[in-house]
């Protein structure tokens, strides 16, 4: 499959070419094709992105981290990309401070730290967990909360990739712990999504509320439950995460845990007082999910 004929290839011919999900197209072409088929129906594509990120269908396996990151990035950029009717290209390349540009930033000193002195370079340094390089970006005048192509700050990147020491350095350098991306997801959401217990603990101890919802009403607890991260779920509950907060599609942490056959998380949430009377917008109930659960032990704890 060549990129020119691949799903979503229209992105490659636009200023948003860096959003092109190479790994998704290569490994899950049918999903990329479905995204393209929904592209001009904003509500439908938003619902599909939501289902991909936090699946409600029983027995669906999660995506590898690199594919998940591409899906998140494309989802959160959809409102800006839309039908590819763009704002002026130059203004689209400028950060909120008007200082740095995606394609024209200075490369001076790049060899010294191993990354281009660009916002993209800063993001790569954060992904790699390179504390010294990230500190030099900050000292060179880059905003510690600068955004990458995914609308993520370095702290969000550190949270998603489990770079605990980098996250601590960024916080000590003044990173905004309350910052959210275009979808309303915070660093706590991404640490919980990826299952990094100590990063979740750090962010909670630094004051991020456990019940912070995204624009879709998704809480860190719901993300951790959907992915089966038992220790993270337990820690969030210890920090007063509410197991009965619903996302806008009607889903709860317990429903997501059951849908993905996470027995230990389901039991933990039931013990924490999670409600059983949960119904999705499409009419599917938690009891429906329980009846379809592949693991008979899940059905047993609801008997």
Token duo for residue 84: 């590819």
Banded pLDDT at 194 (limits 50, 70, 90): very high
Question: Phi first, then psi: what are they for 60, rounded to 5°?
Answer: -75, 130
Question: Chain-wide mean pLDDT for the chain?
Answer: 84
Contact 194, 160 (CB under 8 A): yes
Contact 142, 173 (CB under 8 A): no
Which tens digit of pLDDT belongs to each residue from 164-189? 999 999 999 999 999 999 999 999 99
Higher pLDDT, 8 or 73: 8
pLDDT beyond 70 at 4? no
Residues of the chain within CATH 1.25.40.20 domain(s) are 105-208, 219-230+243-303
Residue percentage of the chain with pLDDT more than 90: 57
Token duo for residue 64: 């590898």
CATH of domain 105-208: 1.25.40.20
Helix (H) or strand (E) holding 272: none
- Cα gap 215→143, rounded to integer Å: 25
- Cα gap 102→82, rounded to integer Å: 20
Please name the CATH architecture into which domain 219-230+243-303 falls.
Answer: Alpha Horseshoe (1.25)
0.85 surpassed by pTM: no
Query: For residue 117, what are the contacts with CB-CB under 8 A and spacing of at least 6?
Result: 105, 106, 107, 108, 109, 110, 137, 140
Strand partners, 64: none
Which tens digit of pLDDT belongs to each residue from 59-77? 556 778 778 878 877 876 7
pLDDT beyond 50 at 1? no
pLDDT at 89: 34
Provide mean pLDDT across the span 104-132.
76
Contact 188, 208 (CB under 8 A): yes
- Cα gap 48→182, rounded to integer Å: 17
Query: For residue 231, what are the contacts with CB-CB under 8 A and spacing of at least 6?
Result: 195, 197
């Amino acid at each position: 499959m060549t990129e020119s004929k691949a799903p979503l290839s229209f992105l490659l011919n636009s200023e948003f070419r860096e959003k092109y999900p190479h790994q998704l197209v290569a490994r899950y072409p049918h999903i990329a094709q479905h995204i393209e088929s929904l592209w001009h129906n904003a509500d439908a594509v938003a619902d599909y992105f939501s289902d991909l990120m936090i699946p409600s269908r029983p027995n669906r396996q999660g995506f590898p981290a690199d594919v998940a990151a591409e899906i998140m990035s494309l989802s959160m950029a959809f409102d800006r990309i839309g039908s590819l009717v763009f704002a002026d290209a130059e203004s689209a390349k400028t950060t909120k401070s008007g200082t740095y540009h995606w394609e024209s930033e200075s490369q001076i000193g790049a060899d010294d730290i191993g990354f281009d002195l660009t916002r993209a370079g800063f993001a790569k340094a954060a992904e790699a967990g390179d504390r010294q390089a990230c500190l030099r970006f900050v000292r060179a005048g880059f905003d510690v909360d600068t955004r990458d192509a995914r609308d993520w700050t370095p702290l969000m990147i550190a949270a998603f990739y489990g770079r605990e020491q980098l996250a601590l350095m960024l916080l000590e350098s003044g990173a905004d712990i309350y910052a959210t991306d275009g979808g309303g997801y915070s660093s706590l959401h991404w640490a919980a999504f990826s299952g990094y217990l100590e990063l979740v603990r750090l962010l909670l101890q630094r004051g991020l509320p456990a019940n912070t919802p995204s624009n879709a009403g998704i809480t860190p607890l719901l993300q951790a439950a959907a992915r089966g991260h038992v220790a993270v779920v337990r820690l969030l509950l210890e920090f007063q995460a509410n197991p009965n907060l619903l996302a806008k599609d009607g889903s709860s942490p317990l429903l997501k845990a059951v849908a993905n056959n996470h027995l230990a998380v389901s039991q933990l949430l039931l013990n924490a007082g999670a409600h059983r009377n949960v119904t999705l917008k499409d009419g599917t109930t938690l009891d429906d999910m329980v009846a379809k659960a592949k693991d008979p032990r899940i059905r047993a704890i609801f008997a």
